[in-house]
């Protein structure tokens, strides 16, 4: 089954063409991504209106590029998959309107899918041996949640953030120590070049059900302000590196604490970490070290938002969910545990 995947939920326009046989047999024929980093950098965050306009400009170019790259014609494909939510409404509408138009023009069915469910299935793209059930830690710029994944659409929520997401905690902390938006990957790279830190940050909300990063964010802001004051303005490279180490350690620790607890309580041994923050090496190292478990991660390009995970999910849904259940309604909020369970998924 040949499927075109379109992703425009936030600030990356991503498109992919895949050949799908099953979860474990997916061939990526071509994939393209256009990051809008340079558009939003000066604003310190994503500007929805600018992101939507950029998607509109990027989509025809990227779609043409994947068909050319895969040497496939639009009439040869079976489905178009497009992200309908969660995400920025204006951005989602661009992707959905484009997919509908392209579908009408080429008489192709369009399947709307959930972006977080895409991240939950993304590890299959690079780990064909992965099997249900597994425990998923979804960590991105906007989401931090743990689910038991028993099959397509069969998700049991274990924990979700009650305030900031892990990616936001990385990005906002990175900004405090002088990195431009988004900053998370740079903070992580700096932290990885140190092996210890004299700075102590509080262990976050260990007894609550959900994740919370707001207290940690305040503690980080106070610590950085104290060190800047002590240094008379800006801290030395050494102190900056040690701060980055302490910040990464505390965010990863908060994620691991709840993930380990969920693993113990459910007894599930297949673990996945997915979403932008799953590119973090320290997080991967600590998840891989969990005793008696098998850890699976997407490749770096599939940690971030990408079109292949959307195409894979659309293919799986096309195969397992009756046609009448596919909707193209755009939803800014759309928790995955509310999705219908696919028979035979
Ligand atoms: O999944 P994603 O590409 O987009 C969203 O759906 O949000 O995630 C982007 C987030 C950003 O906050 C970025 O700073 C973070 O992932 N990120 C990282 C790393 N690479 C990306 N955070 C920590 N360490 C990294 N290596
Ligand atoms: Zn994402």
Answer whether 0.85 is exceeded by the pTM.
yes
- Mean pLDDT across 241-269: 97
- Give the pLDDT score at 330: 97
pLDDT digits (tens, 9 = 90+) for 75-132: 999 999 999 999 999 999 999 999 999 999 999 999 999 999 999 999 999 999 999 9
pLDDT digits (tens, 9 = 90+) for 36-84: 888 888 888 889 999 999 999 999 999 999 999 999 999 999 999 999 9
Best residue for ligand 1 mutational test, from 13, 122, 170 (most atoms within 8 Å of Cβ): 170
Least confident span in 37-46, 194-203, 212-221, 248-257: 37-46
Q: How far is the CA of 140 from the centre of ligand 1 (A)?
A: 5
Closest residue to atom 2 of ligand 1, CA basis: 276
Q: Does the Cβ of 185 fall within 6 Å of ligand 1?
A: yes
Q: How far is the CA of 228 from the centre of ligand 2 (A)?
A: 33
Average pLDDT of the chain is: 95
CA–CA separation, 107 and 82 (whole Å): 16
- Give the pLDDT score at 344: 67
Residue 324 has pLDDT above 90, yes or no: no
Q: Does the Cβ of 174 fall within 6 Å of ligand 1?
A: no
Q: Does the Cβ of 279 fall within 6 Å of ligand 1?
A: yes
Does residue 259 contact residue 135 with C-beta atoms inside 8 Å? yes
């Amino acid at each position: 089954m040949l499927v075109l995947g379109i992703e425009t939920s936030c600030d990356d326009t991503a498109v992919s063409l895949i050949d799908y046989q099953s979860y474990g047999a997916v061939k990526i024929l071509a994939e393209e991504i256009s990051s809008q980093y340079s558009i939003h950098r000066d604003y310190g965050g994503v500007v929805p209106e600018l992101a939507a306009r950029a998607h509109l400009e990027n989509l025809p170019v990227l779609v043409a590029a994947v068909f050319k790259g895969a040497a496939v014609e639009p009439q040869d494909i079976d489905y178009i998959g497009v992200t309908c939510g969660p995400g920025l409404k204006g951005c989602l509408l661009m992707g959905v309107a484009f997919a509908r138009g392209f579908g009408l023009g080429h008489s192709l069915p369009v399947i709307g899918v959930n972006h977080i469910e895409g991240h939950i299935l993304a590890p299959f793209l690079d780990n064909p041996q992965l099997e249900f059930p597994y425990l998923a830690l979804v960590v991105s710029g906007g989401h931090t949640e743990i689910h038991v994944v028993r099959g397509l659409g069969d998700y049991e929520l274990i924990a979700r953030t009650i305030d900031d997401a892990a990616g936001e905690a990385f990005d906002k902390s990175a900004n405090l120590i002088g990195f431009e938006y988004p900053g998370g990957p740079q903070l992580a790279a700096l932290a990885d070049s140190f092996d210890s830190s004299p700075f102590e940050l509080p262990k976050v909300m260990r007894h609550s059900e959900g994740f919370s990063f707001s207290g940690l964010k305040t503690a980080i802001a106070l610590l950085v302000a104290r060190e800047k004051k002590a240094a008379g303005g800006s801290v030395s490279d050494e102190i900056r590196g040690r701060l980055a180490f302490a910040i990464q350690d505390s965010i990863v620790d908060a994620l691991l604490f709840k993930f380990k607890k969920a693993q113990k309580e459910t007894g599930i041994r297949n673990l996945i970490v997915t979403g932008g923050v799953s590119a973090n090496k320290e997080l991967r190292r600590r998840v891989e070290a969990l005793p008696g478990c098998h850890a699976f991660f997407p490749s770096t390009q599939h940690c971030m938002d990408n079109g292949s995970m959307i195409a894979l999910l659309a293919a799986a849904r096309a195969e397992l969910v009756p046609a009448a259940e596919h909707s193209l309604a755009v939803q800014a909020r759309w928790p995955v545990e509310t999705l219908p369970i696919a028979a035979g998924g």
